[in-house]
């Protein structure tokens, strides 16, 4: 046992473990806050109700200063800077809580009153102005509560909170801000010092996209008759954090509550960029984007977000989400643009010679949507896709299992359905059938991902790379080697229910007919072809049941593509 | 016969270093602390994945080893605290992907062929040490199914179920549960040991392991296992990872709680313990653990019940484990746990079935309990015959298995 350094073979193991880090990681995801406040303890003491001599759990009063937010260790909100906060903890062993100088980590629920102290109810309203806004201040730095100001329509009103326990509450009427019925959307913004909250009043029956200020930060919301889609611009170059089916009120991307998690970790959709083995993804995951345009055109609502991944490398990203008015269909176009790097100083004489390879960047990208996993042994969340002349049904058997294209798994026709049979929640992803990505999935304790990736491409300065995909989510699906489809339904404002089917079929099984049953009424509707830019061919059908109700039994069949059985 | 001369032992103890933003410190910075400690203590302190690896040099007695553990960790704590850091000894981090070990090196051995034969004999005993050391029940945001996810997951290739090897036809290899490591050191390295959270337990456990290996090295034994013997070793390895000291082993053809097996092993190496300057009764923590069938993982599991969020659990573990003795204290009042029955053939089949989803590549069943091919294939065959799985051979993807019932 000499003092030798790590032996050669140990390094092999060491390198193998480092390689694991470059594999698609399970990162190490309802609208609640997912961030948690991490503070540094300034003082810690037994609370007065727990005498020193008492046995059993100890009640402690912990005073701390906010240091950062987990999991990303981002900076704390401005209103918490230099503030000493107080928390009570009950622990069997006081060492669990730590000592002055140590960290104290709060749960997301514990953190809420400090991370989002100012709230307005409602945060969003539809069709008409709410009569009143309820304003709540869950924490304030001083005993005396501050004034609040409400702005809307160029008018401001200042008011005082009433003390209710440790909180401040107030109610304000909306009518004085508006002397007429406004064209929607409109917003009421409430400010207290550096804190902001808002209520946005949205049009009831019109598709729109809008930046909203919600309890957990800014979000872009897009809505049509079928879906309510929310995109966070804070991280990942834009992340879909909610996709709600309005008909059933189901959020396909809901996240576990009161759990510290990264954006879309356990529910949501992110896009990722890897340069070379894996560099770049850390920066992409931290990339914030802002609106480069929201517009309505051609029967669709379009939201574009742009951001800079790496200023030094002049690496930027943009994403365009297009939500069609009349179909449950979202199109996503992602691009990564490599600009020209900074020119060297002309008088720098010792500049080394360069070759084209020096400026080339190997880009690989993927998507990582994730859903709450169903895991019941004999059945559970699974991925369906055509693979050559068979229907591939892929379901990891064990928590922690990653299945990738290294096992020869292929998306032959560029479609995949992520099926959750127990919940009747299914999502169809459509990609370019000519050059589909390579499929991959990971099952964690709480979630399952679908991580198709596009292999590396060489990118030169002033070039861009990226991908386009379309997705639809619904309650019934069908899949076979010849194609896959997902069906959904939504109530109509004038009464009745509209149903839609979207899928991709091989030529051999087209034209095809969808048979849709709602309650006792059955319709046969031919599937129509459509061309989605960047994605290619797809089929769709819609049917309106004028007397239909959402609580009636719903069934769909498509000719030769077997309907999947739900539980 | 005595394979080990002189009788020495040591450990490479992998301990996390965590800052006040609760980040694991990266290896490049750990190099500075390792270098400092090497200079200050003249010990081969190294680094590993997010860990300082306290290599404790060559030891010939329990007292020397125990003093060295305290000196090294006290000195290391002092230097890292200058940078507001804590040393955190744990088998796994609840959020991150790393596993940590306390490898035990047993020396001094110069007979490689003898070492490889001893390696073969250790296939039977290594799982017992894994049960005693189990301390990774929460890692990579997973928890609860295994008391040692590290052993279950083979520490990402760094402690693999060993093979029966014929010294006449082998090359040097690395990374199995117990490994004659003459290519690097004149030792047999027992790698299956999860990182100890307790300094005292590490001292006791490493001394016990060393004495037992010394004992094996001074006795004749059959170094060649039958396929049935090997399968039993793998069943025991799985049971140790899953149940820790509550496991029941297949032992000489009968079911036997692992705590009894370890008790017997302690008795067997009484002379070798004495040669290292210690009596069985001095190993108080080990004795108490066997009586209560309680391992360090049981302490972490209790904590994890109160901290369902992996980040909150990690934060709490950081503050507790740095004291080096929280497990020792817990053991004083811990309840006595009952043994869990030996897995019967149905339970073994169920464990293999649990590895299968749909379109699962057949090799996943190999990883269920690390049975070798013929034994694992026989279980696949039984599952097909019972109609609980469907087997399909797909061009480019090989043999795929899917649950049907």
Which residue matches tokens 């292929």?
Answer: A410
H-helix or E-strand spanning residue A274: strand A268-275
CB-based contacts of B211, cutoff 8 Å, min separation 6: B269, B272, B273, B275, B276, B278
- Half-sphere exposure at residue B375, Cβ-oriented, CA atoms within 13 angstroms: 21
Is the pLDDT confidence value at A29 over 60?
no
| pLDDT band of A566, cuts 50, 70, 90 | confident
Strand A195-202 to A124-126 pairing: parallel
Is A356 in the B-facing interface, judged by CB distances under 8 Å?
Answer: no
> Mean pLDDT of all residues in chain B?
96
Given pLDDT bands bounded at 50, 70 and 90, which one contains residue A349?
Answer: low
Q: What is the pLDDT of residue B241?
A: 98
pLDDT tens per residue, range A218-249 = 899 999 999 999 999 999 999 999 999 999 99
Point out the least confidently predicted range of A272-276, A282-286, A563-567, B127-131: A563-567
pLDDT given at position A342: 73
| Sequence-distant contacts of B318-323: CB under 8 A, at least 24 apart | B318/A103, B318/B18, B318/B22, B318/B86, B318/B88, B319/A95, B319/A96, B319/A97, B319/A98, B319/A102, B319/B86, B320/A93, B320/A95, B320/A96, B321/B88, B321/B89, B321/B90, B321/B197, B322/B77, B322/B86, B322/B87, B322/B88, B323/A95
A530 has a chain B CB within 8 A of its CB: no
pLDDT (mean) for B211-219: 97
Interfacial A residues in 265-324 facing B (CB < 8 Å)? none
Q: Is it the case that residue A333 has pLDDT exceeding 90?
A: yes
Chain centre distance of CA A270: 7
Task: Give B1's contacts (C-beta < 8 A, 6+ positions apart).
Answer: B217, B218, B219, B220
Q: A52 falls in which pLDDT band (50, 70, 90)?
A: low
Q: Say if the Cβ atoms of B48 and A14 lie within 8 Å.
A: yes
Q: Which residues of B touch A7 (CB under 8 A)?
A: 174, 181, 183-185
Do you know the residue count of chain B? 405
User: Region A336-344: what's the mean pLDDT?
Assistant: 85
Give the tokens for residue A545: 């049941």
Q: Do B316 and A96 touch (CB under 8 A)?
A: yes
pLDDT band at A24 (very low <50, low <70, confident <90, very high): very low
Mean pLDDT of A18-24: 38
Nearest to B319 among A95, A398, A399 (CB): A95
Predicted local confidence at residue A30, as pLDDT? 32
Pair of tokens at residue A218: 């800014």
- B354: nearest CB among A105, A397, A409: A397
Q: Closest-CA residue in chain B for A102?
A: B20
**3-class state of residue A433 by DSSP:** coil
For residue A451, which of A469, A476, A463, A465 has the smallest C-alpha distance? Answer: A469
pLDDT of residue A20: 40
| Predicted pLDDT at A5 | 33
* CB-based contact B309 A258, cutoff 8 Å: yes
Q: Which residues contact A102 (CB under 8 A, 6 or more apart)?
A: A40, A41, B20, B319
* Closest by Cβ to A28, choosing from B95, B156, B181: B95
Question: Which of A51-65, A338-352, A409-423, B21-35 is least confident?
Answer: A338-352
Q: Average the pLDDT over B253-267 and give the result.
A: 98
Q: How far does the CA of residue B303 sit from the closest CA of chain A (Å)?
A: 10
Give yes or no for a contact between A453 and A364, defined as CB atoms under 8 angstroms apart: yes
Over 80: is that where the pLDDT of A204 sits?
yes
ipTM greater than cut 0.85: yes
pLDDT band at residue A8, thresholds of 50, 70 and 90?
very low
Tell me the residues of chain A between 192 and 251 that have a Cβ less than 8 Å away from chain B.
none
Sequence-separated (6 or more) residues with CB below 8 Å from residue A273: A237, A280, A281, A284, A309, A317, A336, A363, A364, A365
Our CA-based measurement puts residue A10 at a distance from the nearest CA of chain B, in whole angstroms, of 7
CA distance A220 to chain B (A): 29
| Residue among B141, B357, B359 minimizing CB distance to A444 | B141
Look at A393 and B402 and tell me if their CB atoms are within 8 Å: yes
Average pLDDT score over residue span A176-197: 94
Q: Is the pLDDT of residue A59 over 90?
A: yes
Cβ neighbours of residue A332 closer than 8 Å, sequence gap 6 or more: A240, A269, A271, A319, A320, A321, A322, A468, A469, A470, A471
**Which string of b and e fits B73-90 if b means at least 16 CB within 10 Å?**
bebbeebbeeeebbbbbb
Model confidence pLDDT, tens digit, residues A65-111: 999 999 999 999 999 999 999 999 999 999 999 999 999 999 999 99
Residue B101, pLDDT > 90, answer yes
The whole-number pLDDT of residue A17 equals 40
Task: Search chain B and give the residue with CA nearest A22.
Answer: B97
State the first-to-last Cα distance of chain A, in angstroms, to the nearest integer. 61
Out of A129-143, A270-284, A296-310, A492-506, least confident range? A270-284
Q: What SS3 class is residue B339? A: coil
Chain A residues touching residue B20 (CB < 8 angstroms): 40, 67, 101-103
User: What DSSP line would sit under A165-228, residue for residue?
Assistant: TTEEEEEEESGGG-SS-PPSPEEEEEEETTEEEEEEEE-SSS-EEEEEEETTEEEEEEE-SSEE
Q: Find residue A245's DSSP bridge partners.
A: A227, A250
Indicate the SS3 state at residue A403: strand
Of B105, B323, B91, whose CA–CA distance to B207 is shortest?
B105
Distance, in Å, from the CA atom of A458 to the CA atom of A466, rounded to the nearest integer, reads 12
- Which segment of A15-29, B13-27, B286-300, B369-383 scores lowest on mean pLDDT? A15-29
Do the chains contact at B20 and A25, CB–CB below 8 Å?
A: no
pLDDT at A71: 94
Q: Report the residue from B57, B312, B357 with minimal CB separation from A1.
A: B57
CA nearest A111: which of A144, A147, A64?
Answer: A64
Name the helix (H) or strand (E) containing A441.
Answer: strand A440-443
A168/B128 Cα distance (integer angstroms): 60
For B357, the closest of A16, A21, A395 (CB atoms) is: A395
For residue A545, give the DSSP letter: E
Look up residue A399 and give its two tokens.
Answer: 């928590």
- State pLDDT tens for residues A396-434: 999 999 999 888 899 999 999 999 999 999 999 999 999
Using the Cβ of A535 and the Cβ atoms of chain B, whether some distance falls under 8 Å is answered with: no
For residue B223, the distance in angstroms to the closest alpha carbon of chain A comes to 25
Closest-CA distance, B68 to chain A, in angstroms, reads: 15
Model confidence band, residue A62 (pLDDT cutoffs 50, 70, 90): very high
| CA atoms within 13 Å, Cβ hemisphere of A11 | 6
A93 contacts in chain B (CB < 8 Å): 320, 326
- What pLDDT is recorded for position B242? 98
Which tokens in the block code for residue A58? 């100890």
Facing residue for A396 by CB, picked from B95, B185, B357: B357
DSSP string across B169-203: G------BSEEE-TTTSSEEEE--PBPPS-HHHHH
d(CA A169, CA A161): 5
Of the candidates A473, A467, A342, A466, the one whose C-alpha atom is nearest the C-alpha of residue A416 is A473
Probe site for chain B from A7, A110, A397, A444 (most B CB atoms < 10 A)? A397
Question: Cβ B359–A378 below 8 Å, yes or no?
Answer: no
Residues B48, A73: C-beta atoms closer than 8 Å:
no
Task: Give the tens place of pLDDT for each residue, A527-559.
Answer: 999 999 999 999 999 999 999 999 999 999 999
Indicate the pLDDT class of residue A318, thresholds 50, 70 and 90. very high
Q: Which of residues 357-396 of A touch B (CB under 8 A)?
A: 377-380, 382, 388, 390, 392-396
Across the interface, whether the CB atoms of A1 and B185 are under 8 A apart is answered yes
Task: Give the C-alpha separation, A253 to A271, whole Å.
Answer: 15
A406 touches chain B (CB under 8 A): no
Give the neighbor-by-neighbor strand order of the sheet with A124-126: A124-126, A195-202, A186-192, A147-152, A155-160
Q: Report whether pLDDT(A113) > 80.
A: yes
Q: Spell out the alpha helix ranges (H) of B244-309.
A: 258-268, 270-275, 284-292, 296-306
What is the pTM (predicted TM-score) of this model? Answer: 0.93
Pairing of strands A36-46, A103-105: antiparallel
Decide if A447 contacts A259 (C-beta within 8 A). Answer: no
Say yes or no to pLDDT of A511 above 60. yes
CA–CA dist B9, B205 (Å, integer) = 11
B143 vs A contacts (CB less than 8 Å) = 445
Contact A101 B158 (CB under 8 A): no
Average pLDDT of chain A? 90
A-B Cβ pairs (cutoff 8 Å, strict): 172
Instruction: Tell me the C-alpha distance between A57 and A23, whole Å.
Output: 43
Q: Cβ contact (<8 Å) for A17 and B158?
A: yes
Q: How far apart are CA B52 and CA B24, in angstroms?
A: 11
Check: CB of residue B345 under 8 Å from CB of residue B232. no
Q: Which of A14, A20, A103 sits opposite B315 (nearest CB)?
A: A103
Q: Is A7 on the interface with B (CB under 8 A)?
A: yes
pLDDT bin (cut points 50, 70, 90) of residue A47 is confident
Mean pLDDT of B229-255: 97
């Amino acid at each position: 046992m000499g003092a030798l350094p790590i032996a050669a073979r140990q390094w092999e193991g060491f390198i193998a473990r480092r390689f694991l880090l470059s594999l698609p990681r399970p990162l190490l995801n309802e609208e609640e806050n997912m961030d948690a406040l991490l503070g540094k303890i300034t003082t810690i003491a037994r609370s007065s109700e727990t005498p020193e001599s008492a046995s059993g759990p100890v009640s402690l009063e912990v005073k701390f200063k906010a240091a950062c937010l987990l999991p990303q260790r981002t900076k704390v909100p401005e209103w918490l800077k230099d503030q000493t906060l107080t928390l009570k903890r009950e622990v069997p062993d006081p060492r669990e809580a730590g000592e002055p100088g140590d960290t104290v980590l709060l749960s997301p629920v514990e953190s809420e009153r400090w991370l989002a102290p100012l709230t307005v109810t409602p945060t969003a309203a539809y069709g008409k102005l709410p009569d009143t806004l309820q304003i709540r201040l869950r924490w304030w730095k001083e005993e005396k509560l501050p004034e609040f100001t409400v702005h809307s329509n160029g008018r401001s009103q200042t008011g005082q909170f009433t003390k209710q326990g440790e909180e401040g509450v107030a109610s304000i009427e909306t009518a004085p801000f508006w002397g007429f019925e406004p064209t929607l959307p409109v917003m009421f913004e409430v400010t207290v010092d550096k804190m902001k909250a808002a209520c946005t009043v949205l049009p009831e029956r019109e598709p729109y996209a809008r930046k909203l200020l919600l309890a957990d930060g800014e979000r872009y919301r897009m809505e049509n008759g079928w879906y309510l889609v929310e995109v966070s611009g804070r991280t990942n170059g834009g992340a879909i954090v909610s996709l709600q089916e309005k008909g059933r009120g189901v959020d396909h991307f809901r996240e576990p509550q009161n759990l510290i998690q990264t954006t879309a970790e356990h529910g949501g959709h992110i896009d990722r960029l890897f340069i070379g083995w894996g560099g770049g993804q850390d920066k992409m995951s931290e990339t914030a984007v802002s609106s480069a345009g929201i517009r309505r055109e051609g029967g669709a609502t379009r939201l574009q977000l742009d951001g800079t991944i790496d200023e030094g490398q002049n690496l930027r990203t943009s994403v365009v989400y297009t939500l069609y008015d009349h179909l449950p269909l979202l199109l996503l176009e992602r691009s990564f643009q490599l600009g020209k790097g900074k020119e060297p100083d002309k008088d720098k004489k010792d500049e080394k010679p360069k070759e084209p390879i020096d400026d080339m960047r190997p880009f690989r990208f993927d998507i990582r949507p994730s859903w709450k996993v169903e895991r019941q042994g004999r059945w559970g969340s699974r991925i369906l896709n055509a693979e050559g002349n068979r229907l591939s049904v892929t379901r990891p058997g064990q928590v922690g299992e990653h299945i990738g294209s290294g096992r020869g798994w292929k998306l032959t026709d560029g479609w995949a359905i992520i099926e959750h049979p127990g919940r009747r929640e299914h999502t169809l992803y459509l990609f370019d059938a000519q050059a589909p990505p390579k499929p991959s999935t990971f099952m964690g304790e709480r979630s399952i991902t679908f991580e198709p990736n596009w292999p590396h491409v060489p990118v030169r300065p002033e070039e861009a790379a990226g991908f386009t995909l379309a997705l639809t989510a619904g309650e019934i699906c069908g899949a076979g080697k010849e194609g896959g489809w997902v069906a959904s339904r939504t109530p109509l404002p004038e009464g009745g229910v509209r149903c839609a089917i979207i899928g991709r079929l091989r030529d051999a099984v087209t034209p095809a007919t969808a048979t849709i049953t709602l309650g006792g009424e059955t319709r046969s509707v031919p599937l129509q072809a459509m061309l989605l830019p960047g994605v290619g061919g797809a089929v769709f059908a819609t049917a309106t049941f004028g007397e239909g109700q959402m609580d009636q039994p719903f069934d769909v069949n498509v000719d030769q593509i077997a309907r999947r059985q739900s539980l | 016969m005595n394979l080990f001369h002189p009788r020495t032992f040591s450990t490479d103890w992998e301990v996390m270093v965590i800052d006040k933003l609760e980040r694991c410190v990266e290896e490049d910075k750990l190099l500075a602390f390792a270098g400092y400690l090497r200079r200050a203590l003249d010990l081969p302190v190294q680094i590993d994945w997010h860990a300082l690896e306290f290599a404790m040099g060559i030891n010939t007695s329990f007292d020397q080893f125990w003093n060295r553990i305290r000196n090294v960790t006290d000195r290391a704590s002092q230097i890292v605290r200058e940078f507001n850091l804590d040393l955190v000894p744990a088998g796994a981090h609840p959020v991150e992907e790393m596993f940590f070990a306390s490898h035990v090196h047993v020396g001094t051995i110069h007979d490689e062929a003898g070492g490889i034969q001893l390696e073969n004999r250790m296939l039977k005993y290594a799982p017992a040490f894994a049960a005693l050391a189990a301390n990774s029940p929460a890692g990579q945001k997973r928890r609860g199914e295994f008391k040692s996810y590290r052993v279950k997951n083979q520490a990402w290739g760094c402690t693999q179920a060993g093979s029966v090897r014929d010294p006449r036809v082998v090359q040097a290899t690395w990374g199995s549960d117990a490994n004659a490591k003459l290519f690097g050191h004149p030792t047999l390295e027992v790698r299956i040991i999860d990182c100890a959270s307790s300094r005292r337990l590490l001292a006791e456990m490493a001394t016990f392991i060393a004495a037992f290996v010394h004992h094996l090295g001074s006795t004749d034994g059959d170094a060649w296992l039958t396929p049935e013997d090997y399968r039993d070793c793998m069943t025991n390895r799985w049971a140790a990872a899953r149940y820790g000291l509550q496991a029941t082993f297949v032992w000489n053809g009968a079911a036997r709680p692992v705590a009894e097996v370890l008790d017997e092993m302690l008795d067997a190496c009484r002379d070798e313990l004495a040669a290292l300057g210690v009596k069985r009764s001095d190993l108080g923590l080990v004795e108490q653990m066997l009586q209560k069938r309680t391992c360090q993982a049981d302490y972490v599991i209790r904590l994890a019940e109160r901290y369902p969020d992996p980040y909150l659990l990690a934060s709490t573990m950081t503050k507790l484990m740095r004291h080096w003795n929280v497990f020792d204290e817990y053991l004083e009042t811990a309840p006595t746990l009952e043994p869990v029955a030996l897995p019967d053939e149905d339970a073994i089949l169920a464990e293999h079935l649990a590895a299968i989803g749909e379109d699962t590549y057949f090799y996943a069943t190999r990883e269920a309990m690390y049975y070798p091919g013929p034994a694992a294939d026989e279980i696949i065959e039984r599952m097909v015959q019972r109609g609980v799985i469907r087997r399909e051979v797909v061009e480019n993807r090989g043999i795929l298995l899917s649950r049907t019932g």
